Amino acid sequence: MAASTSALTLRVLWKFGSIHFSHSDIGYVDRHFAAAFQNELGPTWSLLDNNGHTHVVTYNMDTVNPRITNGWGQMRNIYPERLNDSHISFDYVGNNNFHITIYFGACSQERRESFIYDGTNYPDTSLFSVKLTKSQARGSHLDLQIAFGNLIRSKGLTQVMLLGQKDGVMCSVLVSVTRNSTKFGKGWKEFCTEYGLKEGDVLVFEVNNLGNDILVEVYINGCPCTVIHPISV
């Protein structure tokens, strides 16, 4: 009992959803999650479900087309008649360990088609992740990774709109040619305050590769799932 209680108190680092299709042995993984933890994730994952079963699966280590391969189809051996186009929510708790909730009952055809489309037709965007330090979460600016900064600079932008789930915040872009650095300046602190950001939060920034669009989508500790959850039992 003590071990179970301890497991429940683990901090959830990222949330995302998937669907277990009855006709497929491949599981779709949120590419924002794959980008956020690409330096941590290994090929073997442990999934503890809401009925106490542990499933060991293989991750293909591909951040462009992230998939679960071996072990995904075998989950139907435990739930032979109940795991049928069912939604599964993933809570990542670190070290390749997940708590998953299986929502038995088939998703609607519309939801299935929408999920498959989103999982196989990616927009022409780039993803950049950062795990916030205390100074980044409380500071007045955010230094961008070189690749991230270069993409923003190539667009000639002086400001961007950081768009989270609740609202967007305009943020200035500070460029230093001599230091070859790029920062988000005025507006960054407001964004942190708006979303209550703190040390350890993981952010994924999604930037359109085409044109000079000022919109930068920000995913914070998870990717919103549009799939309706049937009742879990």
Tokens of 160: 């961007």
Owner of token pair 């789930």: 165
- Does the domain made of 2-120 have the CATH classification 3.40.50.720? no
Per-residue pLDDT, averaged over 18-41, amounts to 94
125-220 topology per CATH:
At1g16640 B3 domain (2.40.330)
User: SS3 helix, strand, coil % of the chain, rounded to 5?
Assistant: 20, 35, 45
Tell me whether domains 2-120 and 125-220 share a fold.
yes
Which of the pair, 195 or 107, is modelled with greater confidence? 195
Tokens of 227: 């799939």
- Residue 38 exposure: Cα atoms within 13 Å on the Cβ side: 18
* pLDDT category of residue 107 using cuts at 50, 70 and 90: confident
Q: How far is CA 132 from CA 62, 97, 169, in A?
A: 24, 21, 18
* pLDDT category of residue 129 using cuts at 50, 70 and 90: very high
* pLDDT category of residue 8 using cuts at 50, 70 and 90: low
Q: Which residues make Cβ contacts (< 8 Å) with residue 197, sequence separation at least 6?
A: 132, 137, 191, 203, 220
* Single pTM value for the model: 0.88
Q: How far is CA 24 from CA 20, 54, 58, 83, in A?
A: 8, 20, 15, 12
Q: Which sequence spans correspond to the domains of the chain?
A: 2-120, 125-220
Report pLDDT digits (tens) over 177-187: 888 899 999 99
